[in-house]
Chain A
Amino acid sequence: MKFIVAIVLTAFLAFSGGLWFDWWSVAVAAFIIALLVHQKAGKAFFAGFLGVFILWGAFAWWIDMKNESILSKKIAATLPLGGNVILLILLTAFVGALVAGFGAMSGSYLRSSK
């Protein structure tokens, strides 16, 4: 339950932070949630990771659907991901998630009492 709460809160705080701050605020969001909702480092990492993975993945997928993949196809061919839009969405989600995961892990270790 705590795990799911952490995921949801991370996603929510990361989204709100993104409205005002730079992209890497997702790491700060995950860090703060890991401090507030304390879990072991491994669990905290995955909660932070999944929170932003879901946020960025779903957000990108939603934008892409409304855009009918006009831009994502071009970007996916440029990066290069062979024009594969799914890969581009997964890469997006993974990059945000990785940063958030480590952010959350740092939060967990900061609060850990050995």
Chain B
Amino acid sequence: MRVIPFITSAVITTGLVWALNKPWGKTVPMPMGKFLSPQHGFWQNAEASGYDYNADLKFPDLKGNASVYLDERLVPHIFAENDEDLYFLQGYIHAKFRLFQMDLQTKAAEGRASEIAGPVAVNFDKEQRRLGMRYAAENAVKETEKDPVSLAMFTAYTKGVNAYIHSLKESEIPVEYKLLNSKPEEWSNIRTALLLKMMAKMLSSGTENDLSYTNAKSIFGYDAFKKIYPQVPDSLVPIVPKGTIFDTAGIVPVKPATADSLYFGKKDTMMVAEISKPDKNNGSNNWVVAGSKTLDGAPILCNDPHLELSLPSIWFELQLSTPTSNVYGVSLPGSPFVIIGFNDSIAWGVTNAQRDVKDYFEIKFKDASRKEYWFNGKWEPATIRHEEIKVKGGETVYDTVAYTAFGPVLFDESFSNPLSNKRSLAIRWTAHEGSNEGFTFYKLNRAKNYADYADAIKTFQCPGQNFVFASKTGDIAIWQQGKFPARWEGQGIYVMPGEDDSYNWQGFIPQAENPHAKNPVRGFLESANQRPVDSTYPYFIPGSYITPRGVSIEHFLSGMNGITVTDMMKLQGNYFNSLADDAVPILLKYVNESELNTEARKYIDIVKAWNLEADPASKGQTIYQCWWDSLESAIWRDDISKTDPMSPWPEEQTTMELLARDSSSLKYIDNVNTPEVETLSGVVTSALNKVAADLVIKEAEGKLEWGKFKNPSIYHLIKDGLPAFARKGLNVGGNGNIINAVTHSHGPSWRMIVHLVSETEAYGVYPAGQSGNPGSKYYDNFVDTWVKGEYYKLWVMKASEAADKKVKWVMKFGKG
């Protein structure tokens, strides 16, 4: 043995192995040796294009035999002998195709993103915990456990997910784990509840503006505030057809005596803002046309939920079948059941209610320990929750959250913006109230008629949804369903005093009084995140409503007869800009063309010739939108910048209505920061002159066309962390206030059309693919179909069709 050379080379070898077996900070977050090894690393996730999914598997938790037929689009058709096996298999299949997504989303929901992303996510995690996300999920699980059927279904699902996780070899874990150097974690019922609470946050936490409205009130005063942020827009076309007579309110909340002085009249600002406030465009369209309006007399139901578009998608398509039930649609990986879909008798879809169900109360603590707070005339003990946030590549962070009679304290001295005046704000949010939303879907999946549907949805609490419905027997209906506080006029749109019970919610709107409509004479119903009812509804119902899409849908549907599926596909892809229809005449009326610069003159000609369609090739849409945004900025920015953070922008719709109604009363046109007094004509003209310079640059880059300008893109869940995993530059038009609501990375996350003829005919598409594996051809294979506005015909497989050529692979399951 040559000792010195041996030791030297052995040290080099071990050193190399050591160096290649550990991550190196941000630039190389994975152990390179393991990552590159063709037998262990990412290469193992590169799925062969002819990959064989056939399998024969045995699990002790199964009660009987079952088969999962995978079709040519990798849609599983799950056939089980009983419900528990059905949801076991749904869990198994979800995990097989979407494990990383399920794991990441529920960890983030719980406030554990720092375990994956490192110190950058600590404040996000603190906020999730202070929002009480885990507390909400625990309450949901407690509620679920009261019902043996629900408990059995959720537990079967959990077992299915874990059966898959346990079957995984290290080399088979999803590639994202290998990139991030982490591992999948066991599933549990609480994680399913966390996933549903993630949806609750997405859809019901960003629909209030209490903090920023408090600021806006301090700028404008209560009376002007009501005009700038109105409850009932002039152009509103509500979900419940106008003219419907509402019952007298079953509960009449009483305004506290101090409200005028301590609440409405208080000039107060809130120097805090949420870190991860959900996008208010998390909206959707759904509508249903009755047989009286369709060509063949069968109802047609349509739904396209607008969410952040991602790879993999939030949705996973499947069929769930047992001898007693048969349902098809999209599910949420992380939860059992079909969420939007149809069965052999009915179809249903959802849009977001956009109601405000989260309020802020200012808390007075006795001292910095925050163990006691002043409530109803005495010091009450707060319930303290200790939070431990583990941080990848950093020290564990600890936080203490006080829970009051209202709910958790979101902001206080130890968690607030640097600017904050260190005030303590508790939230009350309906997502915290124990509820079992999953059970609604269990029942909807099996509903046979209107009565079953109405019964299924009535326990659904949060996030409030517009459940649209149609049955083969010809009924159409819509319910805005959720648990909504009964408020006195103005309650809960600003931060409220929390030193006693007087500003607390006094009760909830009785479920039967939730806005609803069934079989209207006009033969159609629609919802598109607008205010559900007109001003005759007997409750004060603030929210973040979106008006224009409802106006467009109502406009088109009322003019249509002899409707076919093709007509409905065209309507889901419709690019008509109904807001521009009202706004362009205002712009053209007030613009002073003689004051325009050369470029602006060229662009105004394009706007004049524009057909109001926001298609991807439209230049008019780009110029109009930039011009309008520039005008809004000129009108409002100086005013709303008086607070820090900035007060909210008034809705585009509101600005348009204010200008259309009476321009002279709009004193906000004047820029308070300049000596001269601006006029509407002046700001409209200068707004176009200003954007013309930017548009010239865009035009030179070849980005004046709307599709190029907004660059529609679908990112991987890790966003900027994995840009190469995204699909960018998609050739689609649309915008948030247009029926085809595609913005830069947000829009119709699933388009579905169900024609309720005797043998249901259904179509659907979502912009991603069934497999979450970036190394699979099924990762993004639906994207191009979605971009083109095309659909797949959805195949409701029958048990007798196992030999059909559409079945590409069979996974057989049995007890063992």
Chain A residues with a Cβ under 8 A of chain B: 15, 18-19, 22-24, 26-27, 31, 41, 56, 59-60, 63-64, 66-68, 70-75, 77-78, 83, 91-92, 95-96, 98-99, 102-103, 105-106, 109-114
Contact residues in B for A114 (Cβ distance below 8 Å): 2
Contact residues in A for B775 (Cβ distance below 8 Å): 67, 70-71, 74
Cα distance, A113 to B723, chains bound together (Å) = 55
B36 touching A106, Cβ below 8 Å: no
Cα distance, A66 to B775, chains bound together (Å) = 11
Known contacts A56-B38, A98-B16: A70-B779 contact under CB 8 Å: yes
B28 CB to nearest chain A CB (Å): 9
Q: CB-nearest residue of chain B relative to A79?
A: B28
B10 on interface, CB distance cutoff 8 Å: yes
B528 CB to nearest chain A CB (Å): 36
Taking CB atoms and an 8 Å cut-off, the chain B residues in 9-29 that contact chain A are 9-10, 12-13, 16-17, 20-21
Cα distance, A31 to B698, chains bound together (Å) = 61
Q: Is the interface of A mostly helix, strand, loop or mixed?
A: helix
A75 touching B42, Cβ below 8 Å: yes
Partner of B49, one of A67, A72, A102: A67
Contact residues in B for A18 (Cβ distance below 8 Å): 37, 39-40
Cα distance, A75 to B17, chains bound together (Å) = 22
Partner of B43, one of A22, A60, A77: A60
Known contacts A102-B13, A110-B1, A111-B1: A23-B37 contact under CB 8 Å: yes
B33 touching A60, Cβ below 8 Å: no
Taking CB atoms and an 8 Å cut-off, the chain B residues in 32-58 that contact chain A are 32-34, 36-50
Contact residues in B for A63 (Cβ distance below 8 Å): 38, 43-44, 46, 48
A57 CB to nearest chain B CB (Å): 9
Q: CB-nearest residue of chain A relative to B39?
A: A18
Cα distance, A112 to B1, chains bound together (Å) = 5
B39 touching A68, Cβ below 8 Å: no
A95 touching B36, Cβ below 8 Å: yes
A74 touching B21, Cβ below 8 Å: no
Contact residues in A for B6 (Cβ distance below 8 Å): 106, 109-110, 112
Chain B residues with a Cβ under 8 A of chain A: 1-2, 5-6, 9-10, 12-13, 16-17, 20-21, 32-34, 36-50, 175, 179, 722-725, 774-777, 779
A92 touching B779, Cβ below 8 Å: no
B721 CB to nearest chain A CB (Å): 9
Contact residues in B for A78 (Cβ distance below 8 Å): 179, 722-725
Known contacts A59-B43, A70-B777, A114-B2: A106-B10 contact under CB 8 Å: yes
Given contacts A67-B47, A112-B5, 16 further A-B contacts (CB under 8 A): A18-B37, A23-B41, A24-B17, A27-B17, A67-B46, A68-B49, A70-B774, A70-B779, A71-B175, A73-B724, A74-B722, A74-B724, A78-B725, A99-B13, A99-B20, A110-B6
Contact residues in B for A64 (Cβ distance below 8 Å): 43, 46
Q: CB-nearest residue of chain B relative to A75?
A: B42
Known contacts A60-B43, A66-B48, A99-B20: A91-B13 contact under CB 8 Å: no
23 contacts between A and B (CB under 8 A): A18-B37, A22-B40, A24-B17, A59-B39, A60-B43, A63-B48, A64-B46, A66-B46, A70-B777, A74-B722, A77-B724, A78-B179, A78-B724, A83-B724, A92-B43, A95-B33, A96-B37, A105-B9, A105-B13, A106-B6, A109-B9, A111-B1, A112-B6
Contact residues in A for B12 (Cβ distance below 8 Å): 102
Contact residues in B for A109 (Cβ distance below 8 Å): 1-2, 5-6, 9
Contact residues in B for A102 (Cβ distance below 8 Å): 9, 12-13, 16
Contact residues in B for A98 (Cβ distance below 8 Å): 16
Q: Report the 7 A-B pairs with minimum CB-CB distance, sorted nearest first.
A: A71-B775, A77-B724, A23-B37, A67-B46, A18-B39, A109-B6, A59-B38
Contact residues in A for B47 (Cβ distance below 8 Å): 67, 70-71
Contact residues in A for B42 (Cβ distance below 8 Å): 71, 75
Q: CB-nearest residue of chain B relative to A23?
A: B37
Cα distance, A15 to B340, chains bound together (Å) = 47
A21 CB to nearest chain B CB (Å): 10
B5 CB to nearest chain A CB (Å): 5
Contact residues in A for B16 (Cβ distance below 8 Å): 27, 98-99, 102
Contact residues in A for B9 (Cβ distance below 8 Å): 41, 102, 105-106, 109
Contact residues in A for B776 (Cβ distance below 8 Å): 70
Q: CB-nearest residue of chain A relative to B3?
A: A109
Q: Which of A63, A74, A99, A110 has the most CB of B within 10 A?
A: A74
Contact residues in B for A91 (Cβ distance below 8 Å): 36
Cα distance, A77 to B774, chains bound together (Å) = 13
Cα distance, A60 to B41, chains bound together (Å) = 10
Q: CB-nearest residue of chain A relative to B13?
A: A102
Known contacts A18-B39, A41-B5: A24-B21 contact under CB 8 Å: yes
B3 CB to nearest chain A CB (Å): 8
B178 CB to nearest chain A CB (Å): 10
Known contacts A24-B17, A67-B775: A96-B36 contact under CB 8 Å: yes
B13 touching A22, Cβ below 8 Å: no
Contact residues in B for A105 (Cβ distance below 8 Å): 9, 13
Contact residues in B for A96 (Cβ distance below 8 Å): 33, 36-37
B36 touching A92, Cβ below 8 Å: yes
Q: Which of B20, B722, B779 has the most CB of A within 10 A?
A: B20
A72 CB to nearest chain B CB (Å): 7
Q: CB-nearest residue of chain A relative to B49?
A: A68
B39 touching A67, Cβ below 8 Å: no
Q: Which of B9, B10, B12, B38 has the most CB of A within 10 A?
A: B38
Contact residues in A for B21 (Cβ distance below 8 Å): 23-24
Contact residues in B for A68 (Cβ distance below 8 Å): 49, 777
Contact residues in A for B13 (Cβ distance below 8 Å): 27, 31, 99, 102-103, 105-106
B6 CB to nearest chain A CB (Å): 4
Q: CB-nearest residue of chain A relative to B780?
A: A70
Q: CB-nearest residue of chain A relative to B777?
A: A70
B312 CB to nearest chain A CB (Å): 14
Contact residues in A for B20 (Cβ distance below 8 Å): 24, 95, 99
Contact residues in B for A15 (Cβ distance below 8 Å): 39
Known contacts A102-B12, A106-B6: A74-B40 contact under CB 8 Å: no
Cα distance, A64 to B40, chains bound together (Å) = 15
Contact residues in A for B41 (Cβ distance below 8 Å): 23
Known contacts A56-B37, A112-B1: A95-B32 contact under CB 8 Å: yes
Cα distance, A95 to B46, chains bound together (Å) = 19
A41 CB to nearest chain B CB (Å): 7
B33 touching A99, Cβ below 8 Å: yes
Cα distance, A38 to B47, chains bound together (Å) = 39
